[in-house]
Amino acid sequence: MTDPIATASLIGRYRVLGELGRGAMGIVYEAADDLLGRPVAIKTINMSADLSERADHEARFLQEARAAGGLSHPNVVTVYDVGRENDVLYMAMELLDGEELRDILTRGELPLATAVDIAAQVAEGLAFAHERGVIHRDIKPSNIMVLPGGAAKIMDFGIARIRTSDVKTQTGLRLGSPRYMAPEQLLGQGVDRRADLFALGVVLYEMLAGVAPFGGDDVQEVMFRVASFDPPAPSRVNPAVPTVLDLVVARAIAKDPAQRYQDAQELANDLRAAKPAEGAKSPPPRPARAAVSSVMATQTMPLVREDVGAETGPRLPLSRRFDSTAALRALAEATGMGHALDASASPSGAAAGAMDRVAPAPRAAPRRRRSRGPMIVATILVLATLAAIAIAVG
């Protein structure tokens, strides 16, 4: 990319100190605002590169300035000024001393609590922007800056649109990074705030699992996967992820916008409620059902866990009112010992049993034969009691 002001010392009233980075449409510089005595970042867009589309690019850039300039929130980068320097439009914004989330992810997985906290902050910043009619349309790790204290800020509303704007793009509404774009955005359909929530859900998945949910060797394959592929739950990739976060992610990246979160603040609230303990290496106890009830509305990806079938609820004590008589009767009749149960329960049967025990043994038998009825009945009682306890604690 040609830098039309590479040797210039000033952009407007801002003194250029160096280059911070380059994008598809412009260059970002580090500069100083000597009038107010503060460092700034200057984002530029070269208007001389595409003369045939100059008006469109300029309108889009100024639109970004108006949209971002009206947002004053702890989780959104602050825009100070906008202007023109020859063929270069520029925007002055706060200079952030932090690191892009993209670079953090390349070094390895984030702690679960940190990942959830970053996602919640971004959701709160988006909620603020959405309430003012601004949709970002390009939420991705490279547009999220993480400051040393843990604060997260949304950067680059470069393709944000105000709902009432008439500015169009070459490909309808298909702007953004395909890996993080909602299916309706890929298809060039109408896009609203729920597209930002889908993109944030993809970023959250990547932070939790350490891998992106939608991959591919080329743009077409990525787009196909976004539109038709349900990725495995994050906990299948990273077993330390609690099930409740699987549900949050599932709802955020639902294919149907109607099945997603409808409000960024609702997503932020669920993330706060589901945030694991600091330093947790395994899933913490599940949050109260009421705290995350909105998460349960829908899921669009498999939530099969390796621990399916394991006991997860509290063990219940045996009720003192439990009566095993009916179970004992059914067990006795099923084993053909109903008559023995009747005999042991009746007085005459008990007396007859006692008489049998004192009667002389037949001469043919060297030893006295003992009745096996009481032993069988006792065995049945033990089995029935064990069965009843197993059913009760379940």
Strands 134-135 and 79-85: unpaired
Token pair, residue 42, equals 């200057």
Give catalytic status of residue 138 as yes or no.
Answer: yes
Upper half-sphere CA count for residue 261 (Cβ side, 13 Å): 31
Query: Looking up tokens 């020859």, which residue turns up?
Result: 86
Q: Give the residue from 317, 297, 185 showing the smallest Cα distance to 252.
A: 297
Residue of 33, 138, 246, 263 with catalytic role: 138
Strand, helix or coil for residue 41: strand
Dihedral (Cα; 103, 108, 111, 117), 10-degree rounding: 30
Compute the distance between CA of residue 257 and CA of residue 198 in angstroms, rounded to an integer: 8
Give the distance from CA 195 to its chain's centroid: 15
Compute the distance between CA of residue 19 and CA of residue 31 in angstroms, rounded to an integer: 9
How does DSSP assign 244-277, residue by residue?
A: HHHHHHHHHT-SSGGGS-S-HHHHHHHHHHHPPP
By annotation, the residues acting in catalysis are 138
